[in-house]
Amino acid sequence: MRYSLVGPGRIAAVLGLAFAATLLAHAQGGAQNAEGKTAEQVYKNIQALKGTPAGDLIQSMHLIRAALGVDCEFCHEEQDRSVDTKPQKQMARKMIVMMNSINQANFGAQQMVTCYTCHRGSPEPSNVPLLPAGEPQEESNVALPSADQIVTKYVEALGGEQAIRKVTSRVITATQYIPTGPGGAVPVPATIERDQKAPNLVLNVYHTAAYTISDGFDGTTAWSQDLRGRVTEPVKIDQARAQRDADLYLPLDLKQQYPKMEVRGVERVDGRDAYVVIGTPQGDTPERLYFDTQTGLLLRKWAVLPTPVGNSPSEVSHGDYRDTGSGVKFPYLITLYPANARSELATTATIRVTKVQDNAPIDASKFAKPESKPAAAQ
């Protein structure tokens, strides 16, 4: 089932608001306080995935669920997911061992074969090849611009470097049904305020009818605060991504943030032709950036979250670019698949920006990581 989290009517200057959704997962009880711990140190009855970082286990389960097209209860008992009463759970363990053995023996332990390699969304893997549908597509012979040319056009499309540099702070107001509950499958309506100050200070506050949660980057550390006031820090990979996406001038710094950029071709994105640029951040997995061939604007960003059972994909689409009043364009429609990088893959979320204020006065102290409130007595 697909849960549509579309609100009523992130990329520093354009990339960062979407990453706030990943920190939001931690604010709501995601992979927090798990840095340095293994799955068996945090969860019960871990066997095939012993040694797995605890922060990766839940997303691994989401990925298996999506690869087989099943619910969690296909393998687990709803009341106690640690018990071993279902034969499917035992089989899943055998398949994980088999997958790891194949990768170890044939691919130098790289995660080349995954559950999805065979299952393709079905609990029963197919062993019969599909017949080709339609005529083969002709390859395009169109000459491709360089990555530098694409980035330059992107900056110009946003308003140019001079206009972007003049923006030293930004306040964004938006609406979104935020993902909550197991796997992020329960949508809750919220209003969002994102405050950002150069060079890399960020504060996101989510207001719902019942509670308020927040997350941010204080220039050094990413953090999130849950509805009880408890403050936690996300795991290492999310810390690095938060730091990258907190850059207010990220469109100007793309070549620094992605030391390796390659143009791979042209693909259709939301009915438009887009240049596909593969950008590889330092110490992270490659990401795909899709730039409109006509306007030069960024239409989509695609990334993966590595897990012990394969890469979990996520993408953020941008649309409805408007001038904020400072001569700089910003996307007023941001769609996330899944709802955040640590949600069930079948979820979606749409951020509808209602107001952007550039160069609004913001005191830098606002971005300080808050003190964690003590846990309530039981």
pLDDT category, 37, cuts 50, 70, 90? confident
DSSP letter for 113, please. Answer: S
What pLDDT, on the 0 to 100 scale, is given for residue 136? 47
pLDDT category, 176, cuts 50, 70, 90? very high
Distance of alpha carbon 265 from its chain centroid, rounded?
23
What pLDDT, on the 0 to 100 scale, is given for residue 34? 65
Instruction: Give me the DSSP letters along 269-330.
Output: ETTEEEEEEEEE-TTS--EEEEEETTT--EEEEEEEEEETTEEEEEEEEEEEEEE-SSS-EE
Among 89-93, 166-170, 197-201, 267-271, where is mean pLDDT lowest? 89-93
Mean of pLDDT over the chain: 85
The answer to whether residue 31 scores a pLDDT higher than 90 is no
What pLDDT, on the 0 to 100 scale, is given for residue 49? 86
The answer to whether residue 73 scores a pLDDT higher than 90 is no
Contact 364, 197 (CB under 8 A): yes
The answer to whether residue 24 scores a pLDDT higher than 60 is no
Among 38-42, 90-94, 110-114, 131-135, where is mean pLDDT lowest? 131-135
Of residues 277 and 80, the one with the higher pLDDT is 277
Q: How many Å is the Cα radius of gyration of the chain? A: 21
Distance CA(82)–CA(43), nearest Å, equals 8
The answer to whether residue 132 scores a pLDDT higher than 60 is no
Cis peptide before 182 (omega within 30 of 0): no
Could you tell me which residues come within 8 angstroms of residue 320 by beta carbon, excluding any fewer than 6 positions away? Answer: 331, 332, 333
Q: What is the mean pLDDT of residues 17-32?
A: 51
Of residues 100 and 137, the one with the higher pLDDT is 100
Alpha carbon separation from 355 to 130, 168, 173, 175, 192 (Å, rounded): 49, 17, 5, 10, 11
pLDDT category, 27, cuts 50, 70, 90? low
pLDDT tens, residue by residue, 356-365? 999 999 999 9
pLDDT tens, residue by residue, 222-247? 999 999 999 999 888 899 999 999 99
What are the boundaries of each domain within the chain? 16-32+144-367, 39-119
Q: Judge residue 74's burial from the number of C-beta atoms within 10 Å of its C-beta, 0-12 exposed, 13-18 middle, 19 or more buried.
A: middle
What pLDDT, on the 0 to 100 scale, is given for residue 128? 59
Q: What is the mean pLDDT of residues 109-130?
A: 79
Could you tell me which residues come within 8 angstroms of residue 333 by beta carbon, excluding any fewer than 6 positions away? Answer: 318, 319, 320, 350, 351, 352, 353
CA-wise closest residue to 244 among 269, 217, 210:
217
Contact 248, 199 (CB under 8 A): yes
pLDDT category, 12, cuts 50, 70, 90? very low
Contact 192, 24 (CB under 8 A): no
Q: Give the pairing of strands 212-217 and 222-225.
A: antiparallel
Residue that the structure tokens 């003049």 belong to: 166
The answer to whether residue 160 scores a pLDDT higher than 90 is yes
- Fold classification of 16-32+144-367 is outer membrane lipoprotein receptor (LolB), chain A (2.50.20)
pLDDT tens, residue by residue, 326-348? 999 999 999 999 988 888 888 89
Contact 201, 246 (CB under 8 A): yes
The answer to whether residue 158 scores a pLDDT higher than 90 is yes
What pLDDT, on the 0 to 100 scale, is given for residue 316? 95
pLDDT tens, residue by residue, 48-66? 888 888 888 888 888 888 8
Q: What is the mean pLDDT of residues 204-209?
A: 96
